Amino acid sequence: MSFSAGPVPERRVDIDLAALRHNVRHIAEIASPARVMAVVKADGYGHGAVPVAKAALEAGATWLGVAHIAEAVELRRAGIEAPILAWLHTESSDFAAAIELGVDLGISGWELAHVVAEARRIERPARVHLKIDTGLGRNGCPPEQWEALLGRALEHQEDGLLRVVGVFSHLAVADEPDREETDEQIDRFREAVAVAEDAGVDLEVRHLANTPGTLSRPDAHFDLVRVGLGIYGLSPFDGQSSEELGLRPVMSFRTTIANCKEVPEGHGVSYGLAYRTDKRTTLGLVPVGYGDGVPRVATGAPVSVGGRFYPVVGRIAMDQFVIDFEETGIADSEDSPLGQEAVLFGAGGGTPTADDWARASGSINYEIVTRISPRVTRRYVDSEAIDAEADQ
């Protein structure tokens, strides 16, 4: 694995691959003997799909999961040979590319005919995982159509056009551990698996659990767990932190203070002048905004400068926002914040977290990390290697 070198970018997210490997190993211990699928869709939740996938596999993940075939193709072109499952398709999806590259395909119903047609055309069997809707109501075969889907799939398997590799589904409320619907979904999944096995399907993998299901429901582990948020070190549970779950946040978002000035009481800040200072104070300009993926509505979110937290004031603009240092006499002093590092979120402790920004914007931590735009440089670091070098 190679890491970024040279000058530090003006605005960047640092991706700690050592933290990611730690999270994968920790989750693998929890899930054992089930195997781990590292979910790297949406460019690895904004962390970078290829470097994340390679690090996850190094740490013990045995499968990779993506939403779209195009995402799987990117991984194959990067030289990744591990099993990959892609599960969200349209009639325009490149099923032929998936089959040729050995990418497994999630099938809910209509996709089967398209996959079989491409497998026949290129004379190579597809690998498919049949999805049963156990209650989420998105993709997945309705239970009343399950036997018919199994029958069609087995007919095509007998013709050498595909192999049914797995059966899977997805949990709806596992992030709320007390919800009885998870029990119902697990029961429905077991029933669907039993029907498939009774029909003669020789399953390689049965998989249901997402990150919250993996962490809170051992009875949902089956043969394989699909973990997205957890490998990035974020908690899926309200009231339970990453640290409490033994996870380390992987992404930190950093820039520098681009301007610093003292303003009088009653001074307006940013578009609409929705915020005015309540006393004489010093304002700092942070050179990132919603064009970089910062939520426009996150007024009040914390930013760390010099180890102290300061609130975002006024509206967040496309390229910048303002924080209030709540002091005077510092703009032109030797201790001026101008040019100092500003951390939007990181691993906690001395920095805010993605959860802090999620609360400020009325969103979830998944969205905070995933939405960081390509304009922000990704810089890959390895805290294990840095610590080892420091010890020498």
Residues with catalytic roles: 41, 271
Is 188 labelled a binding residue?
Answer: no
Phi, psi of 167 (to 5 degrees): -125, 135
Is 138 labelled a binding residue?
Answer: yes
Instruction: Specify which residues 261 forms β-bridges with.
Output: 283
* Pair 129, 201: CB distance under 8 Å: no
Omega before residue 302 within 30° of 0, cis: no
Q: Which residues contact 184 (CB under 8 A, 6 or more apart)?
A: 134, 135
What is the dihedral sign for C-alpha 249, 255, 260, 266?
A: negative
- In the chain, count H helices and then E strands: 12, 19
Question: Residue 55 half-sphere exposure, CB side, CA atoms within 13 Å?
Answer: 29
DSSP secondary-structure letter at 196? H
Q: Which residues contact 250 (CB under 8 A, 6 or more apart)?
A: 15, 16, 17, 19, 20, 23, 47, 231, 232, 233
Integer Cα distance of 60 and 180 in angstroms: 32
> Any idea which residue has 């497998």 for tokens?
119
Annotated binding site: 138, 318
Which residues are annotated as part of the binding site for substrate? 138, 318
